[in-house]
Structure 1
Amino acid sequence: MHRIDIGLKRKVPRIALSATLGDMNLAAEFLRPHSSFGFELVISKENTQDLKVIIKGYLALPAKSSDEEAANREDAKLEDITPQGELAICDHLFKTLRGTNNLVFPNSRAKVESYSDMLRRYCEREGLPNEFWPHHGSLAKEIREETEQALKSHERPASAVCTTTLELGIDIGLVKSVAQIGPAPSVASLRQRLGRSGRRKGEPAILRCYALEAEIKPDSGLSDLLREGLLQSIAQIHLLIAGWYEPPQTKGMHLSTLIQQVLSLIAQYGGVTAADAWQVLCGSGPFHAVSKQDFLVLLRALGSKDVLMQTDTGLLLHGGLGERLVNHYTFYAAFSSDAEFRVVCGGKALGTLPLSQPVEPGSYIIFAGRRWQVELLDVDKKFIQVIPAAGGKVPKFDGGIGQVGDKVREEMRQILAKAAPVNFLDPAASAFLAEARSHFNRLNLGSTKILVTGNSIQLFFWSGDQVMNTIALMLRFKGLVAISEGLFVSIQHVTTAKLSEVVSALLAEPPIAPERLVAEVLNKQQGKWDWLLPDELLCRNYASLNLNVPGAYQVLLSMASAK
């Protein structure tokens, strides 16, 4: 949008709509950075929609049959090969959602396949037309459109088991309710999903959440004892009702996108100078977290990899590799994906599977909400030919839940610290919460941040993932064996005296540079073009998007002052 303004030599009005931004001023600054153009906030206070919500609790008991080979047999019984907790959730979904249009969000593509397959088989068992359809990004466009059309047609009931692909933006008509299995990626995401329900005048929005919790055993971990998943779902609903959503993250460097924009800018003008490129993209543009020095380091790195070249007059042009990248159709997508196999049945494309997923001829898979046997596998052409089958196992897709924010963790602590019942829990979920509160009080976590168990220590700061991950990296930087486990930071083979000594040293010294903290992190390449970054910028870019160093120091300071 900024480059369009420059091309037109005028400011084009920008209008943004959102029901889930936690800080409108931050959003406005991001939309029109460091500009005197000004902005106007129009905030609607009208909210007449009623909300009906329930969280149902289930024990995550294993499948009756633990034999993986039995799960792949043609005569495998659904009741024997499916984990009992998931089967109980599936029973409730089938009985509750039948006859109406709904959305079911299980949080991962693998679970979309699992639940849609189970629900389709329920329909077959009852002699009913299928009412449950899968929808996720790895499915072929035609299959996704079949699901969307089923929801819109109203010829017969249809429910979609889906990922964020149906969270917003696609016209699917009206749905009666939304089901969320496990916590949502964020409060904002939960609000987006819920916004699909109750759109008819006078109809409430209906949210059913399913908490799948582990059976408590003598060796159960703290996350299970405190019922972390259930707790997070309750906190998200409390904050949603209060109208709070996560503030937008606007301070990252986003160097992967910057690389794409540099290459695109050169293609647009047939070449640009380094000074003009920095001014357009960073000086007056959205990449204001990138200094001139950082930009020059980036250009030199791109030059060393033949992505860019510079003429004697100082003009930046595409290098040999840069030409190939820009002229390939994948250049226009801002996001990358793993190399994937095309899955085809009878000449019809079903979608794609990640290359990392091991598949062999004769094996069974579940895909597109159905079960298939692999007939042919061509590694070079990345091609899988399948035929319908009864057996099958769910492929291992990438993806998972988002980062948990500070406010959500603070609310989780408040829920545990209180004794008042939560009125939207069913009896099983209420029992889970009572267990969690009992363990919270037994461990005295309402008044202490440090829990000592044997030769390990758990630090409970009730902060978001960015702060907790940063604290773990800071302690590891000082030689401790520390890892963030979400609710707490776990430190192995350490005494309280040693921990106190390390924390005191951290607070007495100048703050550690974020890029030094993440130097040993292995998975720093997260963006499409991160592979082109030099290590220094890769570290800084990763830290800018995933760490909160000031917040971590503030938490450690509060810990030290509380002694």
Structure 2
Amino acid sequence: AADFLRPGGAAVVVESTEQGNGLKLVVKGYEEPLVEAPEATKPRVSTDEGEGRRPPGLTDDKDEEEGAPEPVTPGHIAAHLFRSLHGSNNLVFPNSRREVERYTHLLNKLCADLQVPNEFWPHHGSLSKEIRSETESALKQKELPATAICTSTLELGIDIGAVKSVAQIGSPPSVASLRQRLGRSGRRKGEPAILRAYVEEDELGNNPSLATELRLHTVETVAMVDLLTQNWFEPPRAGGSHFSTLIQQILSVIAQRGGASIVELYELLCAPNAPFAGTTKKEFAELVRHLGERELLMQDSSGELLHGTLGEKFVNHYSFYASFATEEEFRIIAAGRTLGTMPVTQMLTVGQRILFAGKTWKVESVDEEQKAVYVRRTGGGTPPLFSGGAGRKHTRVRQRMRELLEAADSPAYLDPKAAALLAQGRTAYAARGLAQACYIEQGRQVQLMTWLGDSANETLACLLIRRGYEATAGGPAVEVQLGQRTVSDVMDALGDAAVDGAPPLEVLLANVKNLQREKWDWALPQSLLRKSYASLNLEIEEALVWARQAAAFEG
């Protein structure tokens, strides 16, 4: 398995017959019912497939505001995880801290109900260092089995030894991330790497979202697993403006030397052939000046730069040595009440619609410092595609999704339910004529079916927002609110955008409310924050090419 995870390695899908160079793989599908089943038909769990009691955590408690029943699918997934992982060391990756807590609770309760020692431990960035250390210690010791339910905190950088298998609930943040996670399994000679992927879809009802209709959760997971077996993963982003890392290095150099002049720092870090060679003297001076305003730096009477009051505190804290921030989750707040948290890796704008807890909400404001999104319920229309989610998807992933929807064969590693979900998605794709169409009109909204990555879709949304539209990137599409306009008006706007080219970043990103992504982004002046975000998260040329082609096709 270790060879497979390196460029040029071979992969044997489903099961290997070669020593130490194989991958065992299954993708299991689940469908969440629209309404809770009667008591007599509620799902049951035990150590035997399909027999036993109702899954733990599936109570009749209602959400205080929305009256939503507890979903039943997590109980089924937890039951399968327990049967598959009990007695060995493993890693389970849900896609949010909330889901880590949910699955840890479900699995702990199964251990208690079956009167066996607990062997399932949580690990995510919001837990105390002591709790995370307990989980890491449980994985390192060899006497008792232990499985960590974790976010990307255990993906790399922490020595926990080898694990027997990896489970992924929902699509992974990226193929590279899935590759890294799988690399924790199959390290011992003669043992294959083992991956269990779980996909969840909502039951088709009278008004399904486009994502549900096309079974996009399933298609996305299968596409990413398929690309993994082809030994493809996202290439690193070259040429980005990594100002957050530059701040880390400035503070580190000053800590190492006890101080430094601005000239010394620029020559060391930003001169030709230096790590941040693309940074101009004007940008560097602006950055240093802003770090002074933020009290991260100060200047003594000789002109030497030292740590400021706040900078001293950060540098002397153990967390300083981690250059990268853990992924933050935003609280979703309506009428003063927190509905829950959601990982948000795509841009947010005021007025856009998001899907959360099965309901459609409109964003009223975003507090980036407090990581809070204030929303209100909105009715009518079809459910939006935007629902948060982990990671940013590459265009190659979206292209592979489209290829899978247009294909006829089913990958051998899909269980019967996952294969059925894929077949349903293909049927809907064909019925809507999406092999030829570049948009879907849904009442007063239109979905531009770009099948591009998040970076290009966000750029398209910004280009349309600049022209007065409400536009949101979501999955393989860009959702546009038509209002009193027509689809032809949207296509004309795309054509104009293609002709005009990219506007200045202060114009393109004027309405985006959550640009802070990296560890030190909060300390950047707005001009450098916009440049950093655009260089790392937008694909302007790719978006303009699609806009040009779509306008020409429609014309």
Same fold (TM over 0.5): yes
Which has the larger displacement, 157-166 or 441-450? 157-166
Match of 2:366 in 1: none
- Note closer, same or farther for the CA distance 1:146–1:329 as it changes in structure 2 (3 Å cut): closer
Q: Distance in 2 between matches of 1:328 and 1:559?
A: 51
User: What is the aligned partner in structure 1 of residue 218 from structure 2?
Assistant: 230
Query: Residues 319 and 138 of structure 1: is their aligned pair in 2 closer, same or farther, counting only changes over 3 Å?
Result: closer
Q: Which has the larger radius of gyration?
A: 1
Q: 1:448 to 1:357 in 2, by over 3 A?
A: closer
User: Which residue is 1:122 aligned to?
Assistant: 110
In 2, Cα distance between equivalents of 1:310 and 1:139: 37
Distance 1:332 1:78, change over 3 A: closer
- Residue 36 of structure 1 corresponds to none
- Residue aligning to 2:28: 56
1:426 maps to: 415
Amino acid at match of 2:424: E
- Whether the 8 Å CA contact 1:64–1:80 is kept in 2: the answer is no
In 2, distance between residues paired with 1:250 and 1:443? 38
The one of 52, 72, 88 aligned to 1:84:
72
In structure 2, the partner of 1:508 is 499
* Cα shift readout 1:437-472 (whole Å, capped 9, x = no counterpart): 111111111112122222221111111111111110
Residue 308 of structure 1 deviates from its aligned partner by 4.1
In the other structure, the counterpart of 2:180 is 192
Query: In angstroms, what is the RMSD of aligned CA positions?
Result: 3.2
Distance 1:18 1:274, change over 3 A: farther
Cα deviation for residue 65 of structure 1 reads 10
Q: Percent sequence identity over matched residues?
A: 44
SS of corresponding position for 1:80: coil
Aligned residue for 2:166, secondary structure, equals: strand
- Equivalent position amino acid for 1:151 in 2: L
Partner letter of residue 437 of structure 1? R
SS at match of 2:517: coil
**TM-aligned CA distance change 1:188 to 1:324, over 3 Å:** closer
| CA shift digits 1:7-29 (9 cap, x unpaired) | xxxxxxxxxx99868xxxxxxxx
1:469 aligns with 2:463: no
1:190-244 residue CA offsets vs partner (Å, 9 max, x unmatched) = 1122222223333322211111111111211111111111111101111111100
1:254 aligned partner? 242
* Whole-angstrom distance in 2 between the partners of 1:259 and 1:77: 47
Task: Give 1:513's aligned amino acid.
Answer: P
Aligned counterparts of 2:34 and 2:116: Cα–Cα separation in 1: 28
Partner residue in 2 for 1:443:
432
Q: Which amino acid is 1:469 matched to?
A: E
Q: CA deviation at 1:145?
A: 3.6
Q: Which segment drifts farther, 50-59 or 528-537?
A: 528-537
Unaligned runs of 5+ in 1: 1-16, 22-42, 67-75, 340-353, 359-364, 366-398
For the 8 Å contact 2:446–2:480, the answer to whether it is kept is yes
Q: Give, in whole Å, the separation in 1 of the partners of 2:139 and 2:312.
A: 43
TM-aligned CA deviation for residue 310 of structure 1:
5.0
1:180 aligns with 2:159: no
CA distance in 1: counterparts of 2:327 and 2:406, whole angstroms:
43
Bigger drift between 510-519 and 540-549 goes to: 510-519
Relative distance call for 1:263 and 1:157 in structure 2 (3 A) is closer
The CA distance in 2 between the partners of 1:270 and 1:310, in whole Å, is: 12
Output one character per residue of 1:74-113: Cα deviation in whole Å (capped at 9) or x when no partner.
xx97342552111111111122222333221112222122
| Aligned equivalents of 1:120, 1:52: Cα separation in 2 | 26
SS of 1:52's partner is strand
CA displacement 1:473-528 (0-9 Å, x = unmatched): 11101111111112200111131221122112112224212342112211223334
- For 1:176, the aligned partner's letter is K
CA contact (8 A) 1:106 1:162 kept: yes
Q: TM-score, normalised by structure 2?
A: 0.76
5+ long unaligned stretches in structure 2: 12-17, 39-54, 61-69, 334-339, 341-387
Contact 2:447 2:478 in 1 (8 A): yes
Q: How many residues align?
A: 464
The separation in 2 between residues aligned to 1:94 and 1:310, in whole angstroms, is 58
With 267-276 and 278-287 compared, the bigger mean Cα shift is at 267-276
1:406 matched to which residue of 2?
A: 395
| Equivalent residue letter for 2:57 | L
Distance apart, 1:434 and its partner CA: 1.1
Tell whether the 8 Å contact from 2:9 to 2:231 is kept in structure 1 after alignment.
no
Q: Give the match's secondary structure for 1:116.
A: helix
1:559 equivalent in alignment to 2:546: no
Instruction: Please state if 1:492 is matched with 2:481.
Output: yes
Shift of 1:539: 1.8
Task: Give the counterpart of 1:452 among 441, 450, 459.
Answer: 441
Tell me, in whole angstroms, the C-alpha distance in 2 between the residues paired with 1:46 and 1:116.
Answer: 34
**Residue 479 of structure 1 pairs with residue 481 of structure 2:** no
Please give the secondary structure, in 1, of the residue aligned with 2:59: helix
**Conserved? CA contact 1:103–1:160, under 8 Å:** yes
Which residue of 116, 122, 128 corresponds with 1:134? 122
2:46 counterpart residue number: none
Which letter does structure 2 place at the counterpart of 1:53?
A: L
SS at match of 2:198: strand
- Structure 1 CA distance, aligned partners of 2:143 and 2:403? 47
Amino acid at match of 1:61: P
Separation in structure 1 between the aligned mates of residue 140 and residue 296 of structure 2, nearest angstrom = 46
Distance 1:177 1:78 in 2: 25
